[in-house]
Structure 1
Amino acid sequence: MTPVPSPIRRVTLVLPVVLVALLFGAAPAWAHTELESSTPAENAEVAQAPSEITLTFSENVPADTAEIAVLGPDGTDHAGGPATGADGTLTVPLQPLGAAGSYTIEYRVVSDDGHPVSGTIPFVLTQAGPGAATADAATAAPTTSAAAPAAAEDSGDGGDGAPVWPWVLLAVVVLGGGAAVALRRRPG
């Protein structure tokens, strides 16, 4: 006759399977918006100054909450207006770009689940843009937009989604507690 496992032993045997199923079943819900592409592309070298930039995300992002700046070599923000768009693609008009050199697109958007997503996209303008003549004539010091998002902003989890460590810690605590209870109740 085969001995019937105690209820605690059954729970101890089934609990890890349930926890693993829950952990892997919830993984798609942890996915957050990610930047899929941009124009200009990351690290692109462009000869003609663009009149707008586009950012395409993996999910729809509201344009009215997007913060996008296009910083030139001198730190001037060349964004010419707010972002517009739909279906995960945002477009921002640009003021005429100036000197040839490194430009950086800085963005901060909010995903459908409310998680902020931010990043930077560098590109190089290889020939001076139409704003170069205006910049040469201007005597005022360059200014940066107060709306420019912070490049180093950190949401605490690397921006890749919900952190996994709380779930792993919970699984270890539950499994350890279940094993301790099962071992204490073992007939012996």
Structure 2
Amino acid sequence: MPTMTESGVRRADQPAGPRPGGRGGAGAPVRRLLAAVAVLVAALAAPLATALPAAAHNVLVSSDPADGSQLDAPPTSVTLTFDQPVQNFEPVVVVTGPDGQSVDVGTPEVASTSVTATVGALPAAGAYTVAYRIVSADGHPVQGQIGFQLVQTTAPTTDSVTTTAPTSSAPTSSSVSSPSATDPSTTPSTTAAVTPAAQDSSGGLAGWIWVVLAVAAVVVVVAVVLILRRPSGPPRS
């Protein structure tokens, strides 16, 4: 029942206990909604964390000489071809011989997706390693190596032999020319794909990445709007 205050003003007794619609009533649904949004965002971000680095780095797709090839003649240059353009920022190419010593190599030149370096005289037959380091399209360094086998250090040469009969009193002289010895076999091309199945899939990958990010942004916005529009207490009577 109403009571009288010291100033003589009548007031109603306030009910004991927490008011309806307080923190305990609306907190549980909000927490459940936030937890669901967090789980959804984490599920969408998980594949992006692994897909983006793989799509950005350059991949070696072919080389000349080819990786694992056997050469009858020493190469005069090395060309490395990648799936994406290479940044022209201090590329490195090192050729190591069978004795473990480095071979003289010219300054590598970058042309779009290819890196080419001239190679000096190879000292001996044996296994050679070509190590490289480039800056990929996404700005990260990429390094690797290929190898080839040199069967001989100099290319075989054939000379044309001409035999002339000695001059005699007879007015006729004969000269016999032997045909040039040529190798009927042709040398196979040393350029081969290291990973022929590698393709530049960054374009298609980037498309669905933007779709996933857009969906995640919409979900977060909807969740925030629902939280802000939720009444803090029960409707007044």
Normalising to structure 1: TM-score of the pair? 0.60
2:46 equivalent to 1:23: yes
Quote the offset at 1:105 in angstroms.
Answer: 0.2
- Do the aligned partners of 1:100 and 1:129 also contact (CA within 8 Å) in 2? no
Say whether the 8 Å CA contact 1:96–1:129 is kept in structure 2.
no
Give, as a single letter, the amino acid of the residue that structure 2 aligns with 1:81: G
Separation in structure 2 between the aligned mates of residue 30 and residue 20 of structure 1, nearest angstrom: 18
- Cα distance in 2, alignment partners of residues 10 and 109 from structure 1: 47
Change (3 A) 1:14 1:64: closer
Q: Which runs of 5+ in 1 are unaligned?
A: 131-188
* 1:87 has 2:101 as partner: no
Q: Which string of whole-angstrom CA distances, capped at 9 and with x for unpartnered residues, describes residues 49-89 of structure 1?
A: 11111111122223441111111112232243111122210
- In the other structure, the counterpart of 2:145 is 120
Residue 159 of structure 1: aligned partner: none
Asked if 1 retains the 8 angstrom alpha-carbon contact of 2:89 and 2:135, the reply is: no
Residue of structure 1 in register with 2:34 after alignment: 11
Unpaired stretches in structure 2, ≥5 consecutive residues = 1-25, 156-237
Change in CA separation of 1:47 and 1:108 when aligned onto 2, cut-off 3 Å = same
Aligned-pair CA distance for 1:91:
0.5
Residues 1:114 and 1:122: Cα distance change in structure 2 (over 3 Å): same
1:17: how far off? 2.1
Q: Among all aligned residue pairs of Structure 1 and Structure 2, give the percentage whose two residues are the same amino acid.
A: 35
1:97 matched to which residue of 2? 122
Look up the equivalent residue of 2:38 and give its one-letter code. Answer: L
In structure 1, give the amino acid aligned to 2:36: L
Could you tell me whether the CA contact under 8 Å between 2:88 and 2:135 is conserved in 1? no
Asked whether the 8 Å contact 1:79–1:92 carries over to 2, the reply is no
Q: Could you say which residue in structure 1 is the equivalent of 2:189?
A: none
SS at match of 2:103: coil
The offset of 1:117, in angstroms, is 1.2
- Counterparts of 2:127 and 2:103 in 1: how far apart (Å)? 13
In structure 2, the residue matched to 1:49 is 74
98-107 vs 113-122, which deviates more? 113-122
* Offset of residue 98 of structure 1: 2.4
Which amino acid letter does the alignment assign opposite residue 108 of structure 1? Answer: R
DSSP-derived class of the 1:13 partner: helix
Moved more, 21-30 or 9-18: 21-30
- 1:148-187 correspondence runs (5 A): none
Question: Does the 8 Å contact 1:64/1:84 carry over to 2?
Answer: no
